Amino acid sequence: MSNSAPEARRLHLDGATLLRQLKELGEIGADSEVGGRTRIALTDDEKAGRDLVASWMRELELEVVVDRIGNLFGILRSEADDGTEAPLMMGSHIDSVTNAGALDGCYGVLAGLAVARAYREAGIAPSRSIMVGAFTNEEGIRYQPDMMGSLVYAGGLSVDEALNTIGTDGTRLGDELARIGYAGDLEPGAIVPHEYLELHIEQGPILEAEGIQLGVVKNLQGISWQQVTIQGNANHAGTTPTHLRHDAGFVAASIVTFLRELARDSGGTTLATVGCLSVQPNVINVIPRRATLTVDLRDPDEERLTLAEQRFAEFLEKVAQREGVNISTERLARFEPVVFDSCLVDCIEASANGYGFTNRRMTSGAGHDAQMIARIAPSAMIFVPSKGGISHNPREHTDDVQLVMGAEVLLNVVLNRLGQAQA
């Protein structure tokens, strides 16, 4: 029997404010011509986004703190918190890719604020402190690696190394962070969360394709990124018999078609993508001397991902020998699959069921800050559908009702975790 609060003090998710804030934040860095927005990490536009989110945190009288890598947090303390309590953390990021949608990342941060708002407006303190975070440089457009703020927070990369990162524009991350006024004092990771929840758009087509309202994210794919360089011989297209060719472009194409087979053979668990591909000298009547491509392999199972990498390496060896070319590979990134906390996953599923929202357990195909924070705290994610699976694009879209529904579930999960569930 819970000590039921009077009706006036029930926690209520203010969907209208959430939607308004998503729109308002989405206007910062707007690319007027194409309808998207660009808020690359630590640019002036991203600073403006940070300022706006921080102002909303202050409106809610959250304690605003910034750590040394620029992660921005708003804390709503429990009554018992003397500053040492491990908080329930929610969050995501507000930096964007070039010409992005308005939801990726921002939705998770602003939904976290909506949860804090629900407490504030009901005049109820959380039984455990809650903390809403916007992690620095999740997208990794200007500074590599991506998910940097959460990675540093989880201890996977030293603060100094991160601050010394040189961007694609030649700037040093630490300098840009100081320039925009977000080089904070807090040591990243100093506040270890008791648990971490991230609400996010799916950025994939599965929920929409299956007509399901909510994704209960039980795990996150492992990611293997490689750059492959093929060195063949440039020769004249008209004078070099096929059997004497060492065509780097043909080898690149063979790699792309092999990877499709590899993905097909996996029965759908392994994904393989060649996103970047270029040839040199890139002249119509010259056999490519050199080809460069990137390979993105993903699988939710570490053994299968390793097997895919092995099969790929074996293929490279075979094709290099057959075609008389040199192939070198460089590892760009490697993340093991992450299995989210089963209690949190169960709790999210129960909450969705409680509302009567259709849902399915699923794997996150994209990387998220949650995969980093999972290193230091039980974590899980909630997905809402992405129309057409489109993201990183101005056409990124989730219906308002689905956005509010996702935030409702987030609030409900928080209340359940904090033992403050409402009848």
Give residues in contact with a copy of itself (CB under 8 A). 202-206, 209, 221, 223, 225, 234-244, 247, 249-250, 252-257, 260, 263-264, 268, 271-279, 282-288, 291, 294, 296, 298, 332, 364-367, 389-393
User: CB of 331: closest distance to a copy of itself in angstroms?
Assistant: 13
Query: Whole-number minimum distance, CB 242 to a copy of itself, in Å?
Result: 5
Other Cβ atoms within 10 Å of 373 Cβ, number:
28
The candidate with the shortest Cα–Cα distance to 366, out of 279, 261, 271, 290, is: 271
CB closer to a copy of itself out of 42 and 271: 271
Give the residue with the Cβ less far from a copy of itself, 15 or 365.
365
Nearest CB to a copy of itself, comparing residues 117 and 392:
392
Which residues contact residue 30 at a Cβ distance below 8 angstroms, ignoring those fewer than 6 apart?
Answer: 36, 37
- The span from the CA of 342 to the CA of 89, in Å, is 17
Look-up of token digits 């591909």 = 277
Determine the Cα–Cα distance for residues 111 and 18; give it in Å rounded to an integer. Answer: 7
Q: How remote is the C-alpha of 404 from its chain's centroid?
A: 20
* Tokens (6 digits) for 338: 């992450």
Structure tokens at 201: 């758009």
Shortest distance, position 273 Cβ to a copy of itself, whole Å: 4
Least distance to a copy of itself, CB of residue 291, Å = 8
Q: Please, what is the minimum distance in Å from the beta carbon of residue 110 to a copy of itself?
A: 21
3-state DSSP call for residue 248?
helix
Strand partners, 338: 220
CA torsion through residues 301, 303, 304, 309, sign: positive
Please give the structure tokens belonging to residue 64: 């605003």
Residue closer to a copy of itself by CB (options 16, 244) is: 244
Name which of 276 and 401 has its Cβ closer to a copy of itself: 276
What distance in Å separates the CA atoms of residue 146 and residue 178, rounded to the nearest whole number?
20
Backbone angles phi, psi at 165, to 5 degrees: -60, 135
| Cα pseudo-dihedral 60, 340, 310, 226, rounded to 10 | 0
Q: Count of alpha carbons within 13 Å of 198, Cβ hemisphere only?
A: 34
Distance CA 364, CA 271 (A): 12
* Distance in Å, CB of 111 to a copy of itself, minimum: 20
The SS3 of residue 77 is coil
Q: Beta-carbon neighbour count of residue 124 at 10 Å?
A: 15
User: Which residue's entry shows tokens 């939607």?
Assistant: 19
Q: Report in angstroms how near the CB of residue 14 gets to a copy of itself at its nearest.
A: 29
Shortest distance in whole angstroms from residue 392 CB to a copy of itself: 7
Task: State which residue, 48 or 286, has the beta carbon closest to a copy of itself.
Answer: 286
CB of 221 to a copy of itself, least distance (A): 6
Nearer to a copy of itself, 76 or 305 (CB): 305
Q: Which residues contact 230 (CB under 8 A, 6 or more apart)?
A: 248, 251, 252, 255, 290, 291, 292, 293, 320, 325, 326, 327
Of 46 and 396, CB closest to a copy of itself = 396
Task: Rank residues 10 and 260 by Cβ distance to a copy of itself and give the closer one.
Answer: 260
Q: Smallest gap, in angstroms, from Cβ of residue 385 to a copy of itself?
A: 12
Closer CB to a copy of itself, 72 or 279, in the complex: 279
